[in-house]
Amino acid sequence: MYYVIKKQLDRYPNTFIGFAVEKYIASKSNDNVIFFFTHDGKVVRKWVKLTDIVLLTDDKEYFLKIMRQFKRTQEEQQALVDEAQKNLEQTMTNFVETMQAEISEFEEIRDSTDVPDKLRCL
């Protein structure tokens, strides 16, 4: 049995998936690795780009150790992204509140009777 860790390119921040395969075929002249799985009694092939593979090993303990490290890193990245998103939302809320206050103040000045007519039409 072989164990694989693969980057998921469609997810951000970086995420990784790990899986076991029965066998694989790789070639120096090809950019893909073909993995063989058995699903419902049938052999299924999955092509994966060589550059997307982070780890390919037959050592299960090493695979599990590396996978745990990646999952911890992934959780840390997600926490940073969540915090940044919260800060961005707070900044946007502050900006909207400030702009509304400025617009309200401008409208008060524009509508006041002590402003000369020439300035009021602006």
pLDDT tens profile 92-112: 999 999 999 988 887 777 666
Residues 6+ apart with CB under 8 A from 120: 110
Residue keyed to tokens 């998921």: 8
pLDDT over 90 (residue 15) = no
Q: What is the pTM of this model?
A: 0.63
Residues 6+ apart with CB under 8 A from 30: 50
Rounded to an integer, what distance in angstroms lies between the CA atom of residue 77 and that of residue 13? 7
Pairing of strands 2-8, 15-21: antiparallel
Q: Which pLDDT belongs to residue 39?
A: 84
Rounded to an integer, what distance in angstroms lies between the CA atom of residue 30 and that of residue 103? 62
